[in-house]
Amino acid sequence: MEVEVISRERIKPSSPTPSHLKTHKISLLDQLFPPVHVPLVFFYLNTQTTSPIPDVISKTSVSLKQSLAKTLTLFYPFAGKIKDHLSVDCNDEGVYYVEAPVDNNLSEFLSKPDVRLTQHFLPHDQSMDQMYPTGISLVMIQVNFFKCGGMALGMYCCHRIIDGHTCITFVRAWAETAQGSGTEVIPRFVPCNSLFPQNPSLPKDSTLLMWPSMFNQSKYVTRRFLFDASALNSLKAKVASSSSFVPTRVEALLGLIWKCAISASKSRFGFQRPSVLSLAVSLRSKFFPPPSQFAMGNLLWSAVAQSKADTGTELHRLVRNLRDATSKINGGFVRGIQGGEGFSKVTECLKELRELYSNEGANYYACTSTCNLGMYDADFGWGKPIWVTLGGNEDPMVMNLIYLLDTRSGGGIEAWVNLSEEDMAEFERDHELLAFTSLDPSPLHINTPSSHTVCARM
């Protein structure tokens, strides 16, 4: 499969950003996130069967650019660049935007997707290679047109100020604008800054304390696993049969993945090592009164669960550990880290994390989830995406990361797991894991509409 970039440009806001909004100050919570770019790829079928494919591609290209320009007037920081570790220069320079034809049909790629190839659908800017970049775009987009008229919309969003909720809100607003009916989304960038005021004295390496497993020099491999709704219901029932509570589908699945990762490590080393799992928890539902659903920025905190070397790793026990860890991130916790006094609470939490992550003999894992964020609602006027997935990533520093996404069918979860080569060799053949999952299935077989045959034509 060949993907050749044929155009590069900057899409600027259709209206200039007011002078009083030219500098966006990031929040204290934003300071805790690294300036890494998170990849997502949205795949769309060509449903315009009565039009010639060149006309479909041309019309789609114009619509995407015009609607993006309008959307950026609302999401004005996204059209700027990182100024320094405390602010974004909202200079209206524009979003880095690339178009590329693909010498293949979408159905051919989706029939047997290769996670390593999805990185070809993503844009690349050399400044992304820096650990603490300044002058880098916050959002970068690559639109890939298949021979059949289908499309892969690949994008990078900088985690410095964009969490999963913010990213999906942006894409949905862009899609609504493309349909011509306008968008009801009115993003608000100020609340996070006022609730969690930035503090220049926060050490720049604090991200290493919040997300330690992300930065590692070992060689790793990534695998994609699908857990359908039926499997997740069975998994939840299995946990509930040995517990006093019924877990959520994310809790049950994450418990299983953690259990199998611990088992893989034990097979590799010959003994059970202590294990720590951090999970990004949304704070949006923890506020009272709740903030606007359109509050933008990182409203996340890391819940940390532990499994000691001398304790059991039964599934219900690990899920209980996860439930106990996330329950600590409640309304009282959120109130404690707000305002000017919140900085002392944050530094106290970071100190505790530093101690927790000081054991060199332990395994550290991190999980982030975009489940329940409505990724599949992004309809630009030609139907909802057939598949939304994480773009392939070859960053050598990222390891032991678990990324959870909804499936199109509803109720299922797609898990991208990366581990060391040695651990993955054991992990992917774990019998308990294989009882609930399938490895790299075709998205065409997950509640697919009959129109997928459109992209088989030449």
**Looking at the annotation, which residues are catalytic?**
159, 379
Which string of DSSP letters, residue by residue, matches 127-166?
Answer: GGGSSS-SS-BSEEEEEEEETTS-EEEEEEEETTT--HHH
Nearest to 313 by CA among 274, 279, 278: 274
Considering only CA atoms, give the Rg of the chain.
Answer: 22
Using CA atoms, how far apart are residues 170 and 164, in angstroms rounded to an integer?
Answer: 10
Contacts for 432 with CB less than 8 Å, ≥ 6 apart: 256, 259, 260
Nearest to 80 by CA among 65, 70, 69, 92: 92
> Residue 178: enclosing H or E segment and its boundaries?
helix 164-178
Using CA atoms, how far apart are residues 365 and 261, in angstroms rounded to an integer?
Answer: 9
DSSP state of 3: B
Exposed e or buried b per residue across 13-25, where buried means at least 16 C-beta atoms within 10 angstroms of its C-beta: beeebeeeeeebb
Using CA atoms, how far apart are residues 458 and 456, in angstroms rounded to an integer?
Answer: 7
- The answer to whether the beta carbons of residues 214 and 34 sit under 8 Å apart is yes
Using CA atoms, how far apart are residues 26 and 74, in angstroms rounded to an integer?
Answer: 17
